[in-house]
Structure 1
Amino acid sequence: MSVFRYNPRDYFYTSPMERFIVNLLDNTFDDRYRPLQSVAPYWLNQPVLNECNIGNALGEVINEKDKFAIQVDVSHFHPKELSVSVRDRELSIEGHHKERNDHSGHGSIERHFVRKYVMPEEVQTDTIESHLSDKGVLTICATKTMIGLPAARNIPIRASPKEPEAGEKSASNGTGQ
């Protein structure tokens, strides 16, 4: 049993230095020829971006029969830098953060985002509330009305009168015929 990886091209490279260079180049360019593993953008696989919470940046929408809620990670923003507004059926969440690093004004950091969601017609816009958790998750929720669905009710069953049979009709006439 061999401890080394078998490569059929090693037969042609006799010196250890040639094998080392070929293996180094193969390992360097392996990523170009790997099969497509997911539909995620290529930049999501970068080690630096793995620390960012990009998966929840768009938010999570909860649409149940009695409530509508949205959860968005806004941990890089202070509450005063966030705004939530409703216009017609459109819910808008906006965050804007700006800071300067030094007194000369040469360095600055700025973050800005806008998320817009179209709410279902059943959402009561006057019941919308927002809450920011200590971990930086903004939750916006509202109750829904039951439009188009009538309240449950009992339907009475009426019995129809029993029809007399053919022989009973003549007896009920009283003529006896």
Structure 2
Amino acid sequence: MFTITPRVADSFGLLSLMDDLMSPYHRYQESSMLPVQFRDGTMGHIGGRIGDSQVQNTDKEFHIRLDLSHYKPEEVKITSDNDKITIQAKHEERQDNHGFVTREMTRTYKLPKGVDPNSATSSMNGNGTLSIKMNKTALEAPKDVDIPIEIKQS
């Protein structure tokens, strides 16, 4: 007979192979998720990858932070309606360390109920983090409504 141990996969070298394959990814994730302090004093992490975003939905505001470090503010267009907000960014061909590159991205967020799209403000910091804030409208408490009784003659 033979004994089954919990590390049977290790005898085939699969666990160390998986560790080797995943290790660079985990090192990247750990280094890219370091906390940052934003200008408004809040702490967070965008994630370190282009296009990463954070969404904060509180009782008072809806807040989006989006990494657009490869774009200039004039290359970004933001549009909104009552249901969604769309961010489009595009730059024409430019040279980088590896040659020439053209980039274009579009990201759309569904707006939660109570957000006033007319209150939207946006800013972009020197690191290319776009910040969009929208106020929420105060939800009115239900009012007592008199409902008249219609009298019908039989």
TM-score (norm 2): 0.59
In structure 1, the partner of 2:17 is 31
- Asked whether the 8 Å contact 1:98–1:108 carries over to 2, the reply is no
1:67 aligns with 2:53: no
1:80 is paired with a residue whose SS is helix
Equivalent pairs counted in the alignment come to 112
Query: % of aligned pairs identical?
Result: 24
In structure 2, the partner of 1:45 is 25
Deviations 1:51-80 (A, max 9, x none): 7812x7331111110111100111111111
Partners of 2:138 and 2:105 in 1: CA distance: 33
In structure 1, the partner of 2:150 is none
- Asked whether the 8 Å contact 1:81–1:95 carries over to 2, the reply is yes
RMSD: 3.4
Partners of 2:140 and 2:20 in 1: CA distance: 50
Partners of 1:142 and 1:30 in 2: CA distance: 48
Give the strand-richer structure, 1 or 2.
Answer: 2
Aligned residue runs from structure 1 range 102-113, under 5 A: 108-113=100-105
Which 5+ residue runs of structure 1 have no aligned equivalent? 1-25, 37-41, 102-106, 152-177
Partners of 1:82 and 1:119 in 2: CA distance: 19
1:123 aligns with 2:115: yes
1:88 aligns with 2:78: no
In structure 2, the partner of 1:79 is 73
Give the helix-richer structure, 1 or 2.
Answer: 1
Partners of 2:100 and 2:78 in 1: CA distance: 25
Partners of 1:146 and 1:118 in 2: CA distance: 19
User: Larger radius of gyration, structure 1 or 2?
Assistant: 1
- Asked whether the 8 Å contact 1:58–1:115 carries over to 2, the reply is no
Partners of 1:59 and 1:134 in 2: CA distance: 16
- Asked whether the 8 Å contact 1:85–1:93 carries over to 2, the reply is yes
Which 5+ residue runs of structure 2 have no aligned equivalent? 1-12, 33-46, 144-154
Partners of 1:109 and 1:120 in 2: CA distance: 36
- Asked whether the 8 Å contact 2:93–2:101 carries over to 1, the reply is yes
